[in-house]
Structures are given as structure tokens and as C-alpha cells.
Chain A
Amino acid sequence: MTTDLTRATAAELADLLGAGSVSSREVTRALLDRTAAVDGAVHSYLHVDEAGALAAADAADRARAAGEPLHALAGVPVAVKDVMATRGLPTTCGSRILQGWVPPYDATLVRRLREAHLPLLGKTNMDEFAMGSSTEHSAYGPSRNPWDLERIPGGSGGGSSSAVASFQAPLAIGTDTGGSIRQPAAVTGTVGAKPTYGGVSRYGLVALASSLDQAGPCSRTVLDSALLHEVIGGHDPLDSTSVDAPVPPVVEAARRADVAGLRIGIVRELTGEGFQPGVQARFDEAVQHLVDAGAEVVEVSCPSFTYALAAYYLILPSEASSNLARFDAMRYGLRVTPEGVAAPSAEQVMAATRDAGFGDEVKRRIILGTYALSSGYYDAYYGSAQKVRRLIADDFDRAFEAADVLVSPTAPTTAFRLGDKLEDPMAMYLNDIATIPANLAGIPGLSVPSGLADEDGLPAGFQVLAPAMADDRLYAVGAALEARLTAAWGGPLLDRAPDLSEVTR
């Protein structure tokens, strides 16, 4: 077992804490020190809560000393994406319009983390309101990929993925509307899971697209994600769309890592053309590892996936245009008074604030969504997109008759360079081609590292999809693959990432 607390997995830390070998304060202190050392270069955090994290760590240590029954992860620190409302901690969603807003309430997910005694290290960076695949749309500057600081850490949850990949946190919370947990995991060589829609409460998750958003775990191992998933999952009466059923047995599945006899479906539409050769090669090898572990491979076709991106970019902006309407300077956040207007009306203040407070990508999507919902266009755009959504769900239903899980590369490429796709929204959107269908259908998905692409030496991701509420299958497949690949590599993939303490010195 490693002695560097920052490099230990959450499960390892849980064992050390349980055995009394270390205190939560020591773990938390080590991680905060790591952040102080490397985050100037990586920029994973928008806000680090040193005092709050240490206080929570002390509380966890006291609870343990008092013999209170504790969750396995009690005392293990976690970073939280800045899209989750945190009482007493700034919550900006990566936007200028929420600069300085401190929520008076905790998201359900955050409350569950606190109740389980996981110290909150801070709030992680993200594309503004989770719109993007690179964190370049954050109003506070991009996060960087620990594998290559000139490259993107994925998005929108690049703050969480880079924090985990750069050993600033063993665990992080992400949210995934079209791939914002899985794609960042893929390009940083980490693990990320998007649970079944409704599996984790959205109460307190600042909505991008209500029918697509889902919060989930980020970590360096499959088991760690399962452990975190278990803490945050389960029914919440404050979220009407929350599933009223027990959390699937994700931890057990991750520990057993059993794929014997499992039917693995390769989605024809999500391989081959358009995927970087090195990414495709690692994917093919990963499939072979699963076959070696006893799985059976079938090929399935999901013809409607061709329309997924188009449907997604109508549904998401439509919902977003309405969800973001509340940012109007009347009650919280930024307030900008228009220049040269003697006695501005409420409407003029709203307009000036929204103009100054929202970035270009947010404005682009608000305009798109407002247009798509307009009378006379609704049926052609929003209505048609909902029909495509139904067809995609039907495709999944059929595919899951032939296969227990579906697999694909998580993202078509490895991490691209900062700035490369900033001026080409379509190229940026295409990064989510393989992750979007799961959000449209509400099914769970997980990304696990598949290795480094030959052409650039950067991490590639392997995506597993399962039927709704069969999240445990993701963890079984992910853990089985992880075990075989780690053995083949002779250690975790992240051991090959650059040592940032050299870079930042």
C-alpha cells in the first residue's frame, strides 16, 4: 500500500482510516497541500475550502473516536463540481452571472456527503453552466489536463477530472448532461459514471437541461466510483424525477468484477469511422480482455443514433433557455446597470446583466433554444427532437435484448489542445457523439481508462452502457477490465502521467 496519501485510492484511504492508521485531518491536509502545490498549473478548483474541509475532517475523526457507526468513506475528502448548491460555499457554475452567490441551502447530494462525513475540499471548475467539452467556456479560465498542461481536461467537468487525475482529490462529483462526466474521465485517464436518470437526486444541481442532467462520481478506480455512487444515490422526495427504488448493488458488482457469460454488445454506429486510430485500437484490445475474462461479444445496431446529436442540440438548448431565465439580477448574483440610462427599468437591468453575465456559448444556446420553442417552430424542432429521443430509447431497448451491456470508445479522440475547437462549435459538439445517446434515453454509462493512444501517448476511454437501473453491470464490466489492464500495464495508468511537482516548480 502506498504511503503517499494523495496517491491512495478512496478505498485504500477508507481502510487506513478504519484501521486508525491515519486521521481524516492528515488525509485532508495532504490533499490541500497538493492543491497548493499544483493547482496553480492545473486550475481544477474555483474555490478551495481549507477551513471547512479541515473542520469536517476533525468532525469525522471525532465521530470515529466516539465509535459512531460510519459509512466506509467517512473521512475521505471529495471535490464537488461548482454546479452543485453548497450552503455557505460559493456556487458559480463557472459563470460570471453567479459570481459571489453563496447558496442558503445544500443540494441533496451535498447533504448526503456531509452526513456521511466526507470533507468537501472545494468547488471544481467547469464550462459555464456545464455547456462545453473542454472547460474553456468557464468564465474563470480553463482547467488543464495533468497529462499535458496544454491540453483540455475534458468538459464540462474538467475541474473534477483534473483534480482526481492530478491527485488533488481521490473522489469528485461531476454532472453529465451529454457526457460531462465520462468524456473528462476518458481524456484524463480516470473513471467516471453517469448513473441512471433519477438515480441520484438533482435537487440543488443547477439545471442545464432538466431531462438530461445527472450527477455522478469521478475517481481513479472503478471501486471508488461505486463507493461514492452508493453515498449519493437513492430516492429523494425533493426531486420528483428521482427513482423510488434502492440503489443498484454497485459496490458489490465492482468488488466481484465478474463478467463471465455476460453479453457485450458493440454498437456499430459508435466505432470505426470518426474515431482516432489509437482510441479505436485501445477499445478493440479492451473488448478482447473482456472476452478473455469470459464475456461474449455481439454486434448491435442503433440506427437512430445518427440523429442523436441533432436532437440533443434542440432539447438541451430549449430546456436551458428556460432554466437560465431565472438569472435576471432581481434576487441574487450579478447586477449590471446599463450605462447611460438615467432610471433604468427592471427589464433594462435584466438585459444588461444577462449581456454582461453570460458567455458566448451560453448565449448561443439560449438563442437556439428560444428559437426552437417559438410558436410555429415548436413542432418542427422541439417536437421532432422528442420523437427522435423516443426512437433512440427504442434502439436501446432492442439492443439490450441482444446484449447485457453496450460498449464503445467514450470519446472519438484523446484530449485536444486548448483553443483548437473553441472557434468551431460543431467540432466541439462532436466530441460527445458517443456519450449523448445515454442521456437522451436516461440509461447509465461509465468510462474507464483503456490505455494510451499510440499516436499521442494520451489516455483513451472505454464506455460501458447498461439498461436503466442496471448500474451495477457498469461497475462489474469496468472493474473486470480495470483489473486486467492494470495487470497488463504493471500498475495504474496514472502512474505514467507526468509528475506535476516538476512542472510547477
Chain B
Amino acid sequence: MTTTTGAEATLPYDEAVAAFDPALGLEVHVELGTATKMFCGCPTEFGAEPNTQVCPVCLGLPGALPVVNETAVESAIRIGLALNCSIAEWCRFARKNYFYPDMPKNFQTSQYDEPIAFDGYLDVQLEDGSTYRVEIERAHMEEDTGKSLHVGGSTGRIHGATHSLVDYNRAGIPLVEIVTRPIVGAGERAPEVARAYVATLRDLLKAMGVSDVKMEQGSMRCDVNLSLAPKGSARLGTRTETKNVNSLRSVERAVRYEVGRHAAVLTGGGSVTQETRHWHEDTGITTSGRLKSDAEDYRYFPEPDLVPVAPSRETVEALRATLPEPPAARRRRLQDAWGYSDLEMRDVLNAGLVELVEETVAAGATPAAARKWWSGEVARRANGEGTDVVTYAQRLGVTPEHVVELERLVDGGRLNDSMARQVWEGVLDGEGGPTQVADARGLELVQDTGALEAAVEKVIAANPDVAEKIRGGKVQAVGALIGQVMKEMRGQADAAAARRLILDRLAPG
């Protein structure tokens, strides 16, 4: 059954993927974090007053000429290497010609048939722990355009606007565009693959330090190409290109939406229009943009104002040596070292705790303690304040050393688990370090065995039926008695010692 969402009909997702195989293509634009622009010396900082970071070159003034930013080329090569690409021995920039007010020269200096990096792949891990290999067709360098602000319309779009303002600060910021080969065979998991790919790519680029990859600021932008083929057919259908999908969640939602929309068109006997589409974050739908016909002709030709880029193999290998450990390999290594289960590792990852756990272990804590103390109460409190654990802990001044100290208090026999929790709460309440909190709150296991023995005797006497069960061999029933002993001792008892004493009395040997 077809339902209408927003302007266009969509088929429920399950029905859509039962009848069709989605083919995905993802184009990710990444703004490089270089200090200066791609072809001139203007600064690249985000958020400056409009048109203050411009010069004759990035404004495209008559006579001005570009000079390639070597750092940007190095970043592009490093990105290519991290994506397991081949690096061109010789390649050129090309002019992509089209008219638009925010493009100063009315051509974009880009790369066409000679990208700096090509034929690579990125392995991405899915929710169930399986790995999907996304093939990379190419990664090429180009410059960003300026930014248009349409004034007077209701939605900031050009339709209905009375005039437009253009900010050229962004014009000439170095970009690397990473293009996948068609992602086929993911079936119903296509949206998940899309999201996982963009997330993995984001983490990788962040770890490399080549970009701040802030999707909400536009320093990483994703275009989603999608087509459907009837189940089992190898032929690709007509594709649409959904532009500027700017969050991980939106990537997943946009794919789902377009799958449902294409399916509705196709099952209704229609044909999908080849076009670009706009993604609407608020309503979760796409709407038709401009028609993308084959007649669109950018008249590419090699940029005559620039010389070819020909990185020596030595340069490429030197850049390869600067690559950080790939995030996936790092995760595997840490999981092995820490002895976490897949589930534990995923929880730590999702909470963004990897670095914190790593520091805490380095400071002397066991991996188990590090995970335990950073994920329980702290996470709950951080979440309550709408922040993450790292930020929250930083604000409170709670450090990996505090976890180490807490664990030592437990290991040294001063605190049991429940006391340790109380101490940790005190630390989070700002009462000081663990020892300080334990002292102030008078938390200390009772080391006087006489008091403990007395409590054990009292509890056994008060629970003859339980005692009888234990005597009869039901050792697991001891828990009930330990709990009562702890209560008797107002929590300040060593549970292990209590257990030992009870069993000595009731089930010796």
C-alpha cells in the first residue's frame, strides 16, 4: 500500500526493499583544515565577517592567478592513502565551467579525469559486527564556492527572495571530494551502510587531522545518489542525487525516504525522474531540485593556469608514514588489549569513551574498572545535562587518576563495591578525591572480625530455614544471609569475609 508523506507518495520501507534492490552512491565533500585557501593565501577560519577573507585570486578579479596550496595536496594524498587508493603519479586540475553568482570565476577549479587518488576502499563495521567493504572510485581536489544568502523569501531559498547576498569567504577553501563506486547488494541495510560509511569516514578524517569534519557547519557534506532495480535484476535504475545531507542520522533517513519514494513511483508504473533533490531535515523528506539531464555540460578542460601535480613516490611513502592507525584497526587492537566483549566495546565506542578509557588504563586502572566507572553514574549524569562524559568529567575536574585511586581503595580492602559507589558519587558531587570522600563520609570496611562474627551468628539464628538449606547443600542461598549481615553492619562489612564466615559455620569443607 502506498501512503503519502509530504508532497510525494512513498511505499513502506519493508515493502520497498522486498521488491527492489537499492544501489547507493555517496559523494562526500570535505573541507580541509589548512590554514590558507586552495589557491591563495587567504585564511580559512569559519565564521568571520562576510567578505573579509578574500583577495584578487579568490574573488576571481581579472588577471589574478592561482597557486596550489601544497599542504592541501598533501592532505588529499593522505586521504587517498587512508582510503587504500592508488595515488596518481601525474595529474592535473581542470576547469568545470558553469555560471553561478557565488562562483567568482564562473568556473570551479577541480579535477576531472585525472584525480589525485583512485581505486580504493573503506571497510565499515555494521551494527551486528559484520564488515561491509565500500569501494572508493576516486578522491579529487577542488575549491569551494562562495555562499549565497537569499533575503526576503520565507525559507531562505531563492524562490520568493527579493535579493541575494554573497559571502566569498568560503570561495577557494580547499575541498576533497570522495566518491564511492555504486554500493550494491546491501539490500534492506542500505541506509545503515550509508550511515556507517559516512561515520567511519568522518572518524578516519578526524583521526588524521585533515579536517574538523563538522557536518553541521558544512565542513563535511554528503550527497546521496540512489537508484532502485527490481529484485534480482543487475540493471541499475534511474538515479536521483539528494544534495547536502548534513548529519549522520539524515544520511540514513534520506536513503530510507528515497527508497520508499522511488519504490512508490516504480510500483505505480511511473519512471523516476533523473534530478537533484533537496533534503529537508525538519520534515524528513526530499523535494525536487533542478533537473539533471545528460545535456548538462561543464565543458571540462585542463586548467592552463596551473602546472600538473606529480608527487614523487618518495613523497607518497613519506606521507603514508604519517597516517595514524586506522580507527577500525585501533578499535580491534584496544578491544583485544582490554579483553572487552563486542557488546562492551560497542557501548564504550558509542559513548565516546575510548580515549578516556585508554587514558585511565594508562594511569594504572584495570580496563574493567575504567569501563565500569566511566559508564555508570557519570554517563547518567552527563546525559541528564545533555552533554557527553568527556565534557562533563572535564567540567567537574574528575580525572582518570580518580578512577585509579578508587580502584586501589577497593583492591586494598578499604571499600566494598557499594561503598565505592557512594564514594564515586561523592567525587562527582565535588566533595574531593576518593580517599578524601571516603574519609569525610566515614566509609571503611569494618576490619574487626569480632563484630562481623557476632553479626553472622545473629543472622544465622534469625534465619533457621535459610541456614538449613545451606546445610543441605544449597550454597547459593548464602546470598540472602550476606545481605542481612551487610544490613546488620550498616554496609561497612567486607562481603567476601561475611560469606567465608557463614559457609564456615554451615557448610564447612
Contacts and interface: CB of A to CB of B under 8 A. Distances in A.
Given A105-B61, A206-B62, A382-B301, 5 more contacts: A240-B306, A241-B307, A325-B106, A326-B105, A330-B101
A91 interface: yes
Given A325-B105, A375-B299, A211 B304 contact: yes
B63 A328 contact: no
A327 B166 CA distance: 16
Interface in B291-349: 297, 299-301, 304-307
Interface in B169-185: none
B56 A105 contact: yes
Nearest to A209: B304
Contact of A203 (B63, B106, B300): B63
Nearest to B66: A240
Contacts of A107: 63
Contacts, number: 101
A327 B162 CA distance: 23
B150 to A, nearest CB: 11
Nearest to A212: B304
Q: Which 10 A-B pairs have the closest CB atoms?
A: A325-B106, A210-B304, A373-B299, A211-B304, A206-B62, A85-B63, A204-B63, A206-B63, A346-B101, A326-B105
B131 interface: no
B101 A205 contact: no
Contacts of A91: 62-63
A85 B62 CA distance: 8
A275 interface: no
B250 to A, nearest CB: 29
Of B60, B97, B297, B305, the most chain A CB neighbours within 10 A belong to: B305
A400 interface: no
Contacts of A67: none
A370 B66 CA distance: 22
A241 B107 CA distance: 19
A91 B66 CA distance: 20
Nearest to A347: B99
A332 B105 CA distance: 12
Of B66, B104, B166, B301, the most chain A CB neighbours within 10 A belong to: B301
Contacts of A210: 304-305
B106 A328 contact: yes
Contact of B307 (A240, A370, A382): A240
A362 to B, nearest CB: 14
Contacts of A238: 65, 67
Nearest to A370: B299
A429 interface: no
Contacts of B67: 237-240
Interface in A195-244: 202-207, 209-211, 237-241
B305 A241 contact: yes
Contact of B63 (A84, A237, A331): A84
Nearest to A239: B65
Given A210-B305, A330-B166, A374-B297, A322 B107 contact: yes
A285 B56 CA distance: 49
A426 B135 CA distance: 52
B64 A203 contact: yes
Q: Contact size class for A?
A: 35 or more
B95 interface: yes
A326 B104 contact: yes
Interface string A362-392: 0000000010011100100010000000000
Interface in A87-127: 91, 93, 98, 101, 103-105, 107
Nearest to B68: A240
Nearest to A373: B299
Interface string B83-126: 00000000000010101010011110000000000000000000
A406 B63 CA distance: 32
Nearest to B40: A238
A210 B164 CA distance: 32
Of B64, B297, B307, the most chain A CB neighbours within 10 A belong to: B64
Nearest to B57: A238
Contact of B99 (A84, A203, A325): A325
B62 A240 contact: no
B59 interface: yes
Interface string B213-250: 00000000000000000000000000000000000000
A375 B297 contact: yes
B61 A332 contact: yes
Nearest to A375: B297
Contacts of B105: 325-326
A204 B66 CA distance: 11
Nearest to B299: A373
A482 interface: no
A103 B61 contact: yes
Contacts of B99: 325, 328, 347, 350
Interface in B20-66: 56, 59-66
A319 interface: yes
Contacts of A145: none
B164 A346 contact: yes
A366 to B, nearest CB: 11
Interface in A156-188: none
Interface in A323-351: 325-328, 330-332, 343, 346-347, 350
8 contacts: A105-B61, A107-B63, A203-B64, A206-B63, A238-B67, A240-B68, A326-B62, A375-B299
A106 B60 CA distance: 15
Of A326, A328, A350, the most chain B CB neighbours within 10 A belong to: A326
Contacts of A204: 63-64
A23 interface: no
A93 B62 contact: yes
Contacts of B66: 240
Nearest to A201: B65
Nearest to B166: A330
B450 to A, nearest CB: 87
A318 interface: yes
B104 to A, nearest CB: 7
A369 to B, nearest CB: 9
A458 B341 CA distance: 95
Contacts of A98: 62
A316 B99 CA distance: 20
B301 A207 contact: no
A64 to B, nearest CB: 31
Contacts of A84: 63
Contacts of B59: 331
B99 to A, nearest CB: 6
A205 B63 contact: yes
Contacts of B61: 85, 103-105, 331-332
Nearest to B59: A331
A374 B299 CA distance: 5
